Amino acid sequence: MNSSPPTASSLKGVVLNIQHFSTHDGPGMRTTVFLKGCSLRCKWCSNPESIYPNPELAYNLSRCIGKDECGFCLPKCRESALFNVDSDAKVRINWDLCTNCGECASVCPPQALYLFGREMTVDEVLDEVEKDSGFYRESGGGMTLSGGECQLQADFAAGLLAGAHKRGINTAIETASNVPWRFMEKILPHVDIVLHDIKLTDPERHKKWTGVDNTRVRENLQRAYDSFPDKTFIARTPLIPGVNDDEEHLRATLAFIKPYKNVVDYELLPYMRFGESKYGFLGRIYEMQDFDPPTPETLARLRSIIDEAFGRSGNRTQI
Amino acid sequence: MKEQTKRIAINCGGGYVPGLNAVITGVVLAADQLKREVVGIRDGFDGLLFPERYPNGGLLKLTPHVVENLSAGTGALLGNATRTDPFHVRQVTEENLVEEMDLSGDLLAKIAAEKIEAVISIVGPRALSILFKLHKQGLRTVCVPTSVENDVAATQLSFGFNSALSFAVDMLERVRQAAQSARKIGVVEVLGEHAGWLALQAGIAVCADAVLIPEIPYDIQKVAVKLREKADSGRTSGLVVVAEGALPQGGQRPAADGAMTESLKASLSPGATGQGGSHVIEGAGRAAQVVAHHLQRLTDQMTYPLVLGPLIRGGSPTAVDRQLGLGYGAAAVRALNENQSGVVVAFQPPDLKFVPLAEAINKVRTVPDDSVFVQIARSLGIALGNEVRP
């Protein structure tokens, strides 16, 4: 191909969602841009629609009107992935034959069939984000890139962050940091606040629950803390009962981050079963059906350890 | 003229079903008659894709000697691959990123390298689609469909169904005896998400008071009327058989309890929010729980739900399933011998025929309105939940 490389503003990426008025993804009122694709497979994942990099079909059976009154989708599918059973007028999906082309979603009036994710350019995203700029000024907020793993789409993410800075918008990312360092090198110069997960500290347990060990994550984080001393880092643990809600993990995390002055806080994000239904919509199986959110007592006990480590007196309100 | 198959592989796509080992035995014995070698691939296609995971190799040579006592056995000799799809294999890249990769090309190359000229796959409905895609890429394959619910459209009788039916009948008789002793109504859920063959035929065999199946949306009031009439005549126990996919008239299953809390509903993203929380994945036992709950309210009799669920998939095969399994296995070898490929072996009495995969996928064999079993049930006075009262 002889075409010249695209300019940053016309770079395209796959965006899952743009969420306005977020209050949990960094300081102030923020607009969170969810990018598709993830490099981990955490068993508790509450955003399964963010895992695969390309747009993908989802199906909410309860919204389907049925083939007798609608049925527009059936002739649209070239892969024979949509079908009916005699006992039910509602359309069924053979997920193994579906190629996520989205043709069926485009003709589904009740939006029972819909696509998670769409291609957008940097400018398209930033124009949408900038609509909230008044709120950022008032609240000290800005734009947060999340995912999936937002750093996987490295050029697109860097384009978004640099573009936001040009428009005077504060930037943050939510990341698990399991990406090649060359991706982080591109992205971090344009980030004001790095909200990074430390899901598990033990390599074997990390591998069991997320699919890979945490060697790369630890190396990346230490390198990031050292290379970008002026950036603000906040460590976070999604707290999953029985997986990482133990003091051992908490103290190991504190020991890892405390030597670095630019890691200003450590937050616990209690596990919620919000994503369960989405697994069904995507034709996948949720493996964590028996897990419950952590108890308030556990949260309070673990947070008091963090407060002590950061020299706070406690009684603070968190998420 | 195609070259005749010399080395046949066999694998299993689903979990154990009574009669599975009879199919394997049938393949091995029939192939031996034709002087062909048979190898089993462990765990679906994993034995070929990841041979390093198996200390004794991913392939198992299957001779008449190896399968001599297999056909009545209940073990999973070759394992299964209920979660492995060669088109989406989860792997860790050299850069430590988890990705799902399409290894179908690698798989076909390994099949060729092992000089396997055709694969006989014993698979459920989902894996049938995967075999269909592999066949389109050039794999020579013959599939033997499995379904203890007997809902494979191409075939009149799937192996395993007869064993499941026999077990269900045995359990239902026990539940009835317990219900009579305790003067309660037993509500028993059996497998059958789309098709009610198992519930209907088992229900007939034990003369249940009511049978609720996915094909006939039920009015719970009509079931309650039937049970109240029975109680009024002095018989104060009851037995109701429910297929797991049975739904009340109107489509939505009423909640047995609080269902989802409002806070959880409110927290779902706009794309995920459905009507009344009905989109939440429902585990087994929901159908029986709901029916028992409502019958108790409507009949003033104690009810208790019981779920047979996956218990039905276990156990030794009946004589029917042993014969059928051996027949399916032998027919699969005959198909290859006749240069067939991309077909499903189907029992269409009195013959075992070969149906193209493209015609077999995405179809479910459901109970038609005019089924002889529906007629028998009505003749016996078994309520199906849609009776028109005189």
pLDDT for position B85: 84
**Among A113-127, A283-297, B9-23, B255-269, whose mean pLDDT is lowest?**
B255-269
Structural tokens at position B103: 């290894």
Residue A179 near residue A67, CB atoms below 8 Å: no
Residue B181 near residue B157, CB atoms below 8 Å: no
State the pLDDT confidence band at B253, using cuts at 50, 70 and 90: low
On whether any CB of chain A is under 8 Å from the CB of B378, the answer is no
Question: Across chain B, what does the average pLDDT equal?
Answer: 87
The string of pLDDT tens digits covering residues B366-379 is 999 999 999 999 99
Structural tokens at position A86: 């005699």
Beta strand residue intervals within B271-381, DSSP E: 303-307, 343-348, 351-356
CA A280 to chain B, closest CA, distance in angstroms equals 6
The values of phi and psi at residue B40, to 5°, are -95, 135
Chain A residue closest in CA terms to B152: A85
pTM above 0.90, yes or no: no
Interface of B with A in 103-142 (CB under 8 A): 126, 129-130, 132-133
Q: Is B164-313+369-379 the same fold as B7-159+317-349?
A: yes
On chain B, the residues whose CB falls within 8 A of the CB of A279 are 281
If one looks up domain A8-53+117-309 in CATH, what number appears?
Answer: 3.20.20.70
Chain A residue closest in CA terms to B369: A87
Annotation: CATH topology of B7-159+317-349? Rossmann fold (3.40.50)
Residue B299 near residue B227, CB atoms below 8 Å: yes
Hey, which residues does B7 pair with through a beta bridge?
B37
Residue A151 near residue A161, CB atoms below 8 Å: no
Q: How many CB pairs under 8 A join A and B?
A: 105
State the pLDDT confidence band at B191, using cuts at 50, 70 and 90: very high
Query: What's the DSSP call for residue A79?
Result: S
Amino acid making up residue B262: E
On whether any CB of chain A is under 8 Å from the CB of B269, the answer is yes
**pLDDT higher at B262 or B218:** B218
On chain B, the residues whose CB falls within 8 A of the CB of A270 are none
| Averaged pLDDT, B67-84 | 76
| Averaged pLDDT, B249-263 | 49
Question: Across chain A, what does the average pLDDT equal?
Answer: 89
| Averaged pLDDT, B83-103 | 90
Count of CA atoms in the C-beta half-sphere (13 A) of B83? 6
On chain A, the residues whose CB falls within 8 A of the CB of B366 are 85-87
Pinpoint the residues of chain A covered by CATH 3.30.70.20: 56-116
Sign of CA dihedral B375, B376, B381, B385: negative
Between CA B155 and CA B344 the distance in angstroms is 9
Is pLDDT above 80 for A187?
A: yes
Could you give the angle at the alpha carbon of B26 between the alpha carbons of B22 and B29, nearest 5°? Answer: 130
Which sequence spans correspond to the domains of chain B?
A: 7-159+317-349, 164-313+369-379
| Averaged pLDDT, A23-32 | 87
On whether any CB of chain B is under 8 Å from the CB of A63, the answer is yes
Beta strand residue intervals within B195-332, DSSP E: 210-212, 238-243, 303-307
SS3 A89: strand
pLDDT for position B99: 95
Chain B residue closest in CA terms to A64: B274
Is pLDDT above 80 for A42?
A: yes
Residue B197 near residue B161, CB atoms below 8 Å: yes
Residue B121 near residue B85, CB atoms below 8 Å: no
Residue B147 near residue B193, CB atoms below 8 Å: no
Output helix, strand, coil percentages for chain A, rounded to the nearest 5. Answer: 35, 20, 45
On chain A, the residues whose CB falls within 8 A of the CB of B214 are 87-88
Is pLDDT above 90 for B235?
A: no
The string of pLDDT tens digits covering residues B290-307 is 999 999 889 888 998 999
- Architecture in CATH for domain B164-313+369-379: 3-Layer(aba) Sandwich (3.40)
SS3 B33: helix
Of B97, B272, B276, the CB nearest to A39: B97
Is pLDDT above 90 for A90?
A: no
If one looks up domain A56-116 in CATH, what number appears?
Answer: 3.30.70.20
Query: Beta strand pairing status for A193-197 and A232-239?
Result: parallel
Chain A residue closest in CA terms to B82: A285
| Percent of the residues in chain B that have a pLDDT greater than 90, as a whole number | 68
Query: Beta strand pairing status for B89-92 and B98-101?
Result: antiparallel
State the pLDDT confidence band at A313, using cuts at 50, 70 and 90: low
Residue B193 near residue B223, CB atoms below 8 Å: no
Residue B293 near residue B244, CB atoms below 8 Å: no
The string of pLDDT tens digits covering residues B173-189 is 999 999 999 889 999 99
Count of CA atoms in the C-beta half-sphere (13 A) of A6? 12
| Averaged pLDDT, A90-103 | 91
pLDDT for position B243: 95
Of B129, B358, B368, the CB nearest to A94: B129
Is pLDDT above 70 for B1?
A: no
| Averaged pLDDT, B99-109 | 96
On chain B, the residues whose CB falls within 8 A of the CB of A274 are 264, 267-268
CA A278 to chain B, closest CA, distance in angstroms equals 6
On whether any CB of chain B is under 8 Å from the CB of A91, the answer is no
Of A62, A97, A274, the CB nearest to B274: A62
On whether any CB of chain B is under 8 Å from the CB of A301, the answer is no
CA B366 to chain A, closest CA, distance in angstroms equals 6
CA B381 to chain A, closest CA, distance in angstroms equals 23
pLDDT for position B284: 59
CA B245 to chain A, closest CA, distance in angstroms equals 10
Of A85, A97, A281, the CB nearest to B129: A97
The string of pLDDT tens digits covering residues A114-127 is 999 999 999 999 99
CA–CA distances in Å: residue B16 to residues B67, B150, B382: 16, 15, 32
Q: Is the complex ipTM higher than 0.90?
A: no
| Averaged pLDDT, B234-248 | 92
Of A62, A97, A116, the CB nearest to B279: A62
CA–CA distances in Å: residue A301 to residues A173, A182, A249, A316, B96: 28, 38, 14, 13, 34
**Which range, A21-35, A85-99, A131-145, A220-234, is most confident?**
A220-234
Is pLDDT above 50 for B140?
A: yes
The string of pLDDT tens digits covering residues B44-66 is 999 999 999 999 999 999 999 99
pLDDT for position A318: 46
- The reply to whether residue B98 touches residue A41, judged by beta carbons under 8 angstroms, is yes
On whether any CB of chain B is under 8 Å from the CB of A88, the answer is yes
Burial class (CB in 10 A: 0-12, 13-18, 19+), A152: buried
pLDDT for position A171: 96
**Among A36-45, A243-252, B259-268, whose mean pLDDT is lowest?**
B259-268
